Structure 1
Amino acid sequence: MEPQNGMPMGEPKKGGVGALIGSIIVILILVLGALYFWGGKLQQEEGELNFDESAAVNAAAGASDELSDIEADLNAGDALNLDEDLNALNQE
C-alpha cells in the first residue's frame, strides 16, 4: 500500500505559461514605447537643425531698413524655390 502524503496522484501541474506570455507582452510594450519616444526625440532634433539653418540664412540678410538694402537682400535670396520649401514644410 502507498503512503498517503496528502497529494493526489494526478498529472503534474502546468504553471508558468501564462506568466511567461504576460512577461513577453509587457516587454514588447516597453520596447514599443521606447521606440516611440526615441522617434519623437529624433524628429524634435531634426526640427531644431532645420531651424538653425533658417536662422543662418536670416542672419546673412542685412539688418538695414533702407530700400536698396532690402532689394539687395531679396535678390540675394532664393525665391525660385519658395514653393518647394513651402511644400516641404506642409509635408512635415
Structure 2
Amino acid sequence: MVVGRGEAVRRLPFRAADFGSIRQAAEALLMKQSIISRSIRQLEDTLGLAVFARTSGGVQATDAGRQFLRMARSMLVPRHRGFDRLIRVQQDR
C-alpha cells in the first residue's frame, strides 16, 4: 500500500498501541521516538482526552483511547483497501 507522509504520521498512535511501546514502534518504523510521542500528544490535545496511559513499561490505551482507536481503525481500513484497489487497477493499465 502506498501511504503518504501525512497519512503515515496519522497511523503512529495505532502502531504504538499495536506494540504497547513507543520505543518498539519507533524501532520497527525506523523513526525517532519523539516523532511518535509528539503525534500522540497532538492527537490527545485535539481529542481533549488521554488515549494512552504511559508507564515505564510502555503505553496502554485508556478506556476512551481503546474506543477511539477501534472507531478510527474501522474507518481507516476500508478506506485503504479502496486505495489499494485503485492503485492495482491503475498499475494494470
The normalised TM-score by structure 1 is 0.30
Q: Which has the higher contact order (CA 8 A, sep 6+)?
A: 2
The structure whose residues are more often strand, as a share, is: 2
The normalised TM-score by structure 2 is 0.30
Computing the radius of gyration over CA atoms, which structure comes out larger, 1 or 2?
A: 1
